[in-house]
Copies of this chain bind each other. A is one copy, B any other.
Amino acid sequence: MEKSQNGEENAQLNLSNDGSICGYDSLHHLLKDNLKPHHFQEVNRLLTGLNCGKVLETITLPESATSLSVKHGFDAQAFSFRADKELLREPRVVRVGLIQNSIAIPTTAHFVDQKKALFEKLRPIIDAAGSSGVNILCLQEAWMMPFAFCTREKKWCEFAEPADGESTKFLQSFAKKYNMVIISPILERDVNHGEVMWNTAVVIGNHGNIIGIHRKNHIPRVGDFNESTYYMEGNTGHPVFETEFGKIAINICYGRHHPLNWLAFGLNGAEIVFNPAATVGELSEPMWPIEARNAAIANSYFVASINRVGTETFPNPFTSGDGKPAHADFGHFYGSSYISAPDASCTPSLSRNRDGLLVTDMDLNLCRQYKDKWGFRMTARYELYVETLAQYVKPEFEPQVIRDPLLHKRC
């Protein structure tokens, strides 16, 4: 599955404007291609938790999938996490697919054409997932449009659709054809409630039916992510969707910075939490390998992280609230989609630069095995925190501070 860079390619690495090198595919390849094998093995153990005790196996995808990846130029990687065998439960192995992609045609094109081009771009990647036997597939955040919220222009609202709109219909046929649950993160227009918009994930069942929706709980106001210009905090709580293949939830994008959001999906019984996102290098790249893995460890579930790829340029320049000149893009979406397991291990990431399909087998029994092992839920003292939070939200809350009595008076 893995396509290794060779030495020649590495020798051609160039420095980009911000001093970082470009031209490499992923952290995993950068390390694997440039360290001696025994050094790489130890670095990989420290970084991903994979050593002799925990193994991440590579899966060979069917020829039908790999030929699509070659023909359409997308990265395709596949891995398998292990769990211990149990005496009373059979293994519950689920095959999960994640798709990351750049937009298909310029943002200056007619909106109808842009959406249609995205459909056409995704078709072979979804076919590759389906023919690989993927059980649950998740697309990236607002996959049916460019991530135009940086512009603050209201014209992009025209991309919004009802939960049962054309993007959902497009995916329903694949869900049915491949017996595959599909999570479809869209810009939703709620026609029954004043036509307001939401950042929404539609969960399509493996029979093509809509199981339900979840709306993004936490909305960013940072950098170019002016999303609260378009939609507000979600009103759907923290639903867990019980599907044919396991209990899943969706933590959309900025919600990954909120440990309580991750926690609530766990309390409702999620075994896999998907994090479809759109995030750029300068802002968040060092956080990307941290937050999802922390959530998987703390909540004893799998986390599937998806990020867009590429740079999206918009017709009209905009400013970013940083005093710098107006510009027409807000940076490089660095892809790097990956999966984190409750045992603190993780897969390598997809490319930082190319479209990609990541296929991963996971035995959901691993979740309870790690609950039993580490006991985080048992030792969490939730009663204590109900009280702490209840006090905190009162306007008259006073923090628990013990002041050094010998402290000089300061303002």
Contact = CB atoms under 8 A, between A and B. Distances in A.
Contacts of A269: 399, 401
Interface residues of A, number: 102
Given A290-B290, A291-B297, A263 B254 contact: no
A109 interface: no
A91 to B, nearest CB: 15
A97 interface: no
A19 B388 contact: no
Contacts of A30: 39, 42-43
A392 B381 contact: no
B287 A297 contact: yes
A364 B155 CA distance: 42
Contacts of A237: 388, 400
Determine how many copies of this chain the complex contains.
2
A1 interface: no
Interface in A189-237: 203, 205, 207, 209, 211-212, 217-222, 233, 237
Interface string A299-310: 000000000000
A162 interface: no
Contacts of A24: 42
21 contacts: A20-B41, A21-B42, A31-B43, A34-B35, A47-B47, A211-B402, A217-B381, A221-B379, A238-B388, A239-B401, A239-B402, A243-B404, A247-B401, A258-B298, A258-B381, A259-B262, A268-B401, A269-B401, A286-B344, A286-B345, A386-B393
